[in-house]
Chains A and B, each alone.
Chain A
Amino acid sequence: MTTGDRMPAHSHGVIALTASACTSCMICVRECPVWCIELECHDEEVTEPGARRPRTVSVLDAFTIDYGLCMYCGICVDLCPFDALAWQPDFDYAAGSAAGLVQGISELESWRNNLDESPKVSGS
């Protein structure tokens, strides 16, 4: 018997990040009641053929969630305008130090395993 056998698929185990969907808008960082999210980004200019001037886009450099502080309220998941954050049922990430509970982009992305990739809104 494994301990995860009876985990509901939509339980609030961990928050997974889809970095490519994140626009660094900072809404999650600002609205988090315990300030457990940190985000770093820089701006880059993208020149598109035919465009009259280059477009400025934010590029995500670092995104961390401190699961030692997180109160699992899900406000960041609810407010993210681009669905870059999503609940996942994973629970097995206890650490040997409080600093070990701070998870960066690679760990947050690794929890996307079970994410439903189908679009939530039809393109019509």
Chain B
Amino acid sequence: MEIGKEVFDTSSAPGNTLGLVSAPLPNPRMYRVAADPSLRVQILDLGLACCALEVGSAIATGLLVETGLLDAADVGASPASGTTILLISGTSTDALAPAVLRAWEQLPEPKAAVSFGACANTGGPYWDAPTVTKGIDQLVPVTIYVPGCPPRPEALIAGLLKVRDEIEVA
């Protein structure tokens, strides 16, 4: 047996596609924002790097509360309620870019994208790396850019409230 053959031979993989591009996406989850209880949004947390920990921190500290499905009363309470938010936190590489794009395309309307952290905003510390996407807005239309490396959980909530304001103005 040739050493390394089994590891590097991808010819037997189904469709010979990248796993990240073909794997099923997780379902978005419904959250209530503690700072504005009338705001209930569906979030697909696309945690690509360390910034994803801050999303977990926001949930653990009660700033974001996971809730059940939206009912009719919620939709009237806040125009932004029921919006599905793609929360892109972390570094996207050119290899990962198709998966990010697919996540955006598969989300139901109405939807908004939030860029969370320096890597998603501009490429951040990897501004000089050839394989890192220089800002997630090259792939999806971003509504709000949350600055930080990483941003605090409070900054995530402030960003979500800004998304609400954008939707209410529109």
Which residue numbers of A lie inside 8 Å of B, CB to CB? 1-4, 6-7, 11, 13, 33-35, 66-73, 91-98, 100-101
Q: List 6 A-B contacts (CB under 8 A).
A: A68-B145, A69-B127, A73-B149, A91-B152, A96-B162, A98-B145
Contact (Cβ within 8 A) B121 A101: yes
Chain B residue contacts of A7, Cβ below 8 A:
152, 154
Contact (Cβ within 8 A) A96 B143: yes
A-B contact count (CB 8 A): 87
Which of A66, A91, A94, A95 has most chain B Cβ within 10 Å? Answer: A94
CB nearest neighbor in A for B151: A91
Chain B residue contacts of A73, Cβ below 8 A:
149
Q: Given A94-B146, A95-B145, is A71 in contact with B152 using a C-beta cutoff of 8 Å?
A: no
Shortest distance between the CB of A1 and any CB in chain B (Å): 6
Which residue numbers of B lie inside 8 Å of A, CB to CB? 34-35, 61, 63, 118, 121-125, 127, 135, 137, 142-149, 151-152, 154-155, 157-159, 161-162, 166
CB nearest neighbor in A for B114: A94
Contact (Cβ within 8 A) A71 B145: no
Shortest distance between the CB of A118 and any CB in chain B (Å): 27
Q: Given A1-B35, A68-B121, A71-B118, is A101 in contact with B145 using a C-beta cutoff of 8 Å?
A: yes
Main secondary structure of the interface of B (DSSP, over half): mixed
Chain B residue contacts of A71, Cβ below 8 A:
118, 124-125, 149
Task: For the complex, give the distance between the alpha carbons of A72 and B159 in Å.
Answer: 18
Contact (Cβ within 8 A) B145 A33: no
Q: Given A2-B35, A92-B158, is A11 in contact with B152 using a C-beta cutoff of 8 Å?
A: yes
CB nearest neighbor in A for B37: A1
Contact (Cβ within 8 A) A3 B158: yes
CB nearest neighbor in A for B158: A92
Contact (Cβ within 8 A) B152 A98: no
Top 4 A-B pairs, shortest CB-CB distance: A67-B147, A68-B121, A68-B122, A91-B155
Task: For the complex, give the distance between the alpha carbons of A7 and B146 in Å.
Answer: 17
Task: For the complex, give the distance between the alpha carbons of A97 and B136 in Å.
Answer: 12
Task: For the complex, give the distance between the alpha carbons of A91 and B63 in Å.
Answer: 15
Chain B residue contacts of A96, Cβ below 8 A:
143-145, 162, 166
Chain A residue contacts of B144, Cβ below 8 A:
94-96
Task: For the complex, give the distance between the alpha carbons of A71 and B154 in Å.
Answer: 18
Shortest distance between the CB of A30 and any CB in chain B (Å): 16
Shortest distance between the CB of B168 and any CB in chain A (Å): 14
Contact (Cβ within 8 A) A94 B149: no
Task: For the complex, give the distance between the alpha carbons of A91 and B149 in Å.
Answer: 12
Which of A1, A33, A69 has most chain B Cβ within 10 Å? Answer: A69
Shortest distance between the CB of B64 and any CB in chain A (Å): 11
